[in-house]
Amino acid sequence: MNEHLAISPEVAEALDAGVPVVALESTIIAHGFGYPANRECALRSEEVAREAGAVPATIAVLEGKLKVGLSAEELEYLATNPDIPKASRRDIPVLVARGADGATTVAGTMLIAALAGIRVFATGGIGGVHRGAADTFDISADLQELARTDVLVVSAGAKSVLDLGLTLEYLETYGVPVLGFRTDEFPAFYEPSSGLRVDTRVDSAEEAAAIVAAKWELGLAGGAVLANPIAPEHALDQALLDRAMRTALQEAEAADVHGKDVTPFLLARIHEITGGASEEANKQLVWSNVRLAAEVAGSLAGRSS
């Protein structure tokens, strides 16, 4: 056991018994929504995992410990302290050494999940290659983490404020399979489709589990993306979303917002411009991803039992 890991008794017992476990991130709690919507999203995510037969393991860095499975009080602390910094791979050693707190990103959550022995992680959307990256080199650490860490990430694709074409090219270069759940096209977070094709379509959680199991059995390091489109009834109106994104991107450029501050800025402005519609869509897609992740985790557990 890594001395820096603090796994909750429930999660530890589940892992020992081979019960399905799904990792959940904490950046979405500290930075994804305002209070109390963030708390609602986090608590409901854990409920959805349980309803689908898996144990939820929300992950964060608290007082320098890599926490895997949070209490209600710890979830409340994250939800009511938006100044908690994001914790990606590069940040975790600093937070551990200083005994500090951090809300884990996709990359940070993947890293800690793998240390704990968790193979399936549900999030909203992965990070990717930012628009204009040819000049700025602004590429999310999530993509490199997917290339090196053996965790399947279930997401609604990536946010359409990113360069989705280059994001898929980057994942292909580093050998990361992108699986489309009952779709041939890569979803764009608030939209079911981006017009870009995924590598492989899968039509069941069992099929997705079989593919990632084969990948790891072959000794092929790294994760995979299971892209789960937002349900049509929860997707945002295309014209409204396009207008919101144009405005948000223009404002981010004018305000010289860059790096890890870009995505929270854009999401906040899109929330304002859409009158809160984006927040409801975000919650619904997260819960859908958690449900699917629990099903995949259950299939993986069944294969190893």
68 is written with which tokens? 């895997």
d(CA 122, CA 293): 6
CA dihedral 178, 114, 118, 110 (to 10 degrees): -50
Catalytic member of 25, 185, 279, 295: 25
| 137 in Cβ contact with 161 (< 8 Å) | no
Is 159 among the catalytic positions?
A: yes
Helix axes 164-173, 141-148, angle to 10 degrees: 30
Query: Which of 86, 159, 215, 283 is an active site residue?
Result: 159
Which residues are known to be catalytic?
25, 159
